[in-house]
Structure 1
Amino acid sequence: MNWKDWMQQIDEALFISIHQAGSHEFLDVFMLLMRNALTWVPLYLFVLFYIIRYRKNKALIFLVCTLITFAIADYGSASILKPMFQRLRPCFNEDLQGHLRNLIECGGRYGFPSSHASNHFALATFWFLSLRSIGIRRWWWVWVWALVIGYAQVYVGKHYPLDIVGGAMYGFLVGWLISRLFIWWNQSGFRLIRPNRRLDALT
């Protein structure tokens, strides 16, 4: 048995254990809610309010970097890495059909890495490191947020655990890189919108 088959067996065993031992009607509803993008709209609005309220002069660059982080994580995972690895989702594995509860439609054929995990770990990493660099701490909870969303993807049957791990690693790399860009922008004094000195002189 080669290492790929060995990792696949471990991944399937973890997937089955989650679906057999960890399933519950209440969790079904909760996990479906956690992976729904609309659930997190209040969080995104909170982040927007927070950065404008406490670091207004950094808000524009922070929001631009947030959008860049999401765009790179999402495009890279969905359009580059998934076609590259071509790893089938659990719902396309005939050996697992008896363990799937069909809480949600299968979706695309390929699942590695998880785009949900990539996107949310990228945002969590960027937010945590960037806010920390400008003196805003205690945002550790963004890691819990990303972990819950990643686990929900396994729970509803969309991904194997290693799909989440791969997505988290890729997302962390993207978030770290864009946080370095934000820190550079912040330390260099670069502004997306230059002040109008002529107007300032007249007022």
Structure 2
Amino acid sequence: MIATIQQFDIDLFLKIHRGLSSGFLDWLMPLLRNPFFWSPLYLFIIIFCFREYKKKGWLLIGMLLLTFGIGDMFSSKIIKPFVMRVRPCNDYTLRDLIIHRVPCGSGYSFPSIHATNHFAIAVFLILVFYKRWKPILPLGILWAFMISFAQVYVGVHYPVDTMAGAILGTTIGCFTYLIYKKTEVFI
């Protein structure tokens, strides 16, 4: 059963990593996974929260930082060292099939920290702002998905790594939203 899932994961990885290869995606996908590319969005969120929500804006930013911190801690410090899955770009059995689009890194693969953190942040923001602005649902999910997909395309994660990160991140985003709802009544 595990071997079947692993083979499916490798096959799907190769279909994305090699099968979708194009000059445009080779240019775009490394950008999408770069945190500096998203800096204007992060800055907009911070300014928006402070401008529109004043004191509650501090709470929102604090909760976003907590959401990010929990996602990062669980995925990188707890799960990755326990699972110890080798990244596809470091897997010697895939050596001749990998297209090196970004530096591989030496860390483990499962789960994707990018997927965990971005799904956690997206879900938290969706839950906070959905009643006020409905388009945040598809935009937030698309944003987190694109970053996760880019991880597979550039060759640093398997699809299951990003799916697990998305599930973990969604759970964390829901959890921190519950904390936010309990805390916001005091502001």
- Give the structure-2-normalised TM-score: 0.94
Amino acid paired to 1:77: S
Which of these residues, 83, 98, 118, is aligned with residue 85 of structure 1? 83
Counting aligned pairs with the same residue, the percent is: 38
Which whole-Å CA distance do the structure 1 matches of 2:59 and 2:71 have between them?
A: 18
Q: What's the counterpart of residue 47 of structure 2? A: 49
Amino acid paired to 2:172: V
Q: What's the counterpart of residue 137 of structure 1? A: 134
Residue deviations 1:137-191, cap 9 Å, x none? Answer: 32120111000000000000000000000111111111100001111112xx213
Amino acid paired to 1:42: P
**Greater CA drift, 57-66 or 113-122:** 57-66
Which whole-Å CA distance do the structure 1 matches of 2:82 and 2:18 have between them?
A: 31
**SS of equivalent to 2:165:** helix
Which of these residues, 14, 23, 26, is aligned with residue 25 of structure 1? 23
**SS of equivalent to 2:130:** helix
Q: What's the counterpart of residue 7 of structure 1? A: 5
Larger Rg: 1
Q: What's the counterpart of residue 62 of structure 1? A: 60
Q: CA deviation at 1:81?
A: 0.5
CA root-mean-square deviation: 1.3
Q: Please tell me whether the aligned partners of residues 19 and 99 of structure 1 are also in contact (alpha carbons under 8 angstroms).
A: no
**SS of equivalent to 1:38:** coil
Structure 1: tracts of 5 or more residues without a match: 192-203
Q: CA deviation at 1:136?
A: 4.2
- Give the structure-1-normalised TM-score: 0.87
Which whole-Å CA distance do the structure 1 matches of 2:5 and 2:91 have between them?
A: 15
Which whole-Å CA distance do the structure 1 matches of 2:17 and 2:129 have between them?
A: 37
Q: CA deviation at 1:101?
A: 0.8
Which whole-Å CA distance do the structure 1 matches of 2:106 and 2:69 have between them?
A: 19
